[in-house]
Structure 1
Amino acid sequence: MDRVGVAILAGGQGTRMGGRKPERHFRGRRLIDPVLDRVSAWGVPAIICVRKHGQVAANTFGQILDQPEIEGPLAGLLSALAWASSTNLDLLLTLPCDAPFLPEDLLSELKHASLDAAKPAVAASNGQRHPTCAIWPVDTLLCVTTYAGSGRRSLAGALDACEAIDVCWPDGQVDVFANINTPEDIIRLEL
């Protein structure tokens, strides 16, 4: 039970960024490109979750639409878990499209922790969880669907509902899970 796939969550509006966040430039490349590079290096099946077609320009990974009746990244998680189930995967790693410094060992560390605990595992650093960086056993689809059916929309809440465990990374000068939400973040992190 260790066939794993990746879903890159890219369906947000990016309003604080002025829209089209995955396509914004950071260090001379699209913001999503470092995430795509990381996933490509892992050599696992992967998909990009978007709210509408064309939200991310063509690339090597296919795209699926977020659940339309759900708001936020939970919509991408639900679609991605359904995709993972239909693809006969056992585990699904979710990643945000706006985190250019993700650690190389993210997949292996979360995978091992999740398999050992038989629960989702979520990355943590600097005293906080990073709910978009989590690995989900595909059989948690029912738990996440039930959670969403209650009207709740938080990825953190879905992790709690599925009794996720934390996997901590050491603190550093730049948080490896730092995400870019505003033009000011781009300026601050480009240095």
Structure 2
Amino acid sequence: MRIDGCVLAGGEGRRMGADKALVLLAGRPLLSHVIDRFAPQVDRLWLSANGDAARFARFGLTVLPDAAPMGPLSGVLAGLRRAAAEGATALVTVPVDSPFVPGDLVPRLCLAAETAPHGMAIARAGGRVHPVFALWPVAMAGPLADFLASGVKPRLMDFAAQAALADFPDDGSFDNLNTPEDLAAAEALLQAAR
């Protein structure tokens, strides 16, 4: 089984007031934190983002724009299509605004996916489901494209309703940094850990 990864950075970052991928945490862009934790777990890594791809050149990732921006599922679809073209069997996605990606994300998702009818798995921690942290078989690209073209409001959990849940002990690993206050709290956590 070959698993590729895709960091989803297609959002507009309105609550943060800036491009979240480039917002600094401990002096480094959020995207750098995510790459450091996620890249060792996958065979290839891409970035799903819209707009000028040149702003991400320093990270060395191929940027995959959405064919039709419809939320995170558009980024998932772009990643699935690329992963399939590269010969991968599955894709794992993470959001760019979650810099504390668990070091065992991919293995836990893989174990959970073995029990799912479609081989999909989603992270769960602290009683909460984190649907953007997910494993998607590349065979789901066609059904996902059909789902997005159907005209329904594209909600990730509507599409992934039959996914298995992979349990994680630390809910903090899935914290999203959506606002300057979230960023300040993450800075404080990192300072305390030093």
Structure 1: which amino acid aligns with 2:126?
A: N
Instruction: Tell me the CA shift for residue 74 of structure 1.
Output: 1.1
1:179 matched to 2:179? The reply is no
Q: Distance in 2 between matches of 1:15 and 1:43?
A: 30
- How far the C-alpha of 1:116 sits from its partner, in A, is 4.3
2:76 paired with 1:77: yes
Q: Which residue of 1 aligns with 2:65?
A: 65
The one-letter amino acid paired with 2:146 is T
Q: Which runs of 5+ in 2 are unaligned?
A: 189-194
What is the Cα deviation at residue 124 of structure 1?
0.7
5 Å-filtered alignment, 1:20-169, equals 20-42=19-41, 44-52=43-51, 53-67=53-67, 69-117=68-116, 118-151=118-151, 152-160=153-161, 163-169=162-168
How far residue 112 of structure 1 moved from its aligned partner, in angstroms, is 2.3
Distance in 1 separating the partners of 2:80 and 2:159: 13
| Greater share of helix | 2
TM-score normalized with structure 1 length: 0.90
What is the distance in 1 between the residues matched to 2:175 and 2:170? 11
Report what 1:3 is aligned to: 2
**How many equivalent pairs are there?**
185
Alpha-carbon separation, structure 2, partners of 1:55 and 1:72: 21
Deviation at 1:171, TM superposition (A): 4.2
The C-alpha deviation readout for 1:9-33, integer Å capped at 9, x for no partner, is 0111101111211100112211111
Tell me the amino acid that sits aligned with residue 112 of structure 2: A
- SS of equivalent residue, structure 1 residue 32: helix
Q: Decide whether aligned partners of structure 1 residues 100 and 91 sit closer, same or farther in structure 2, where only a CA change above 3 A counts.
A: same
Q: CA deviation at 1:77?
A: 0.7
Describe the superposition over 1:125-161 as per-residue Cα deviations: whole angstroms up to 9, x where unpaired. Answer: 111111110000110112212221222222222211x
Q: Secondary structure of 1:92's partner?
A: strand
In the superposition, relative to structure 1, how do residues 148 and 138 fare at CA in structure 2: closer, same or farther (>3 Å)? Answer: same
Amino acid at match of 2:50: R
Q: SS at 1:136's partner residue?
A: strand
Do the aligned partners of 1:114 and 1:137 also contact (CA within 8 Å) in 2?
A: no
Report if aligned partners of 1:90, 1:138 keep a CA contact under 8 Å in 2.
yes
Distance 2:114 2:56 in 1: 32
CA offsets, 1:34-56, max 9 Å, x none?
11112332351111011122353
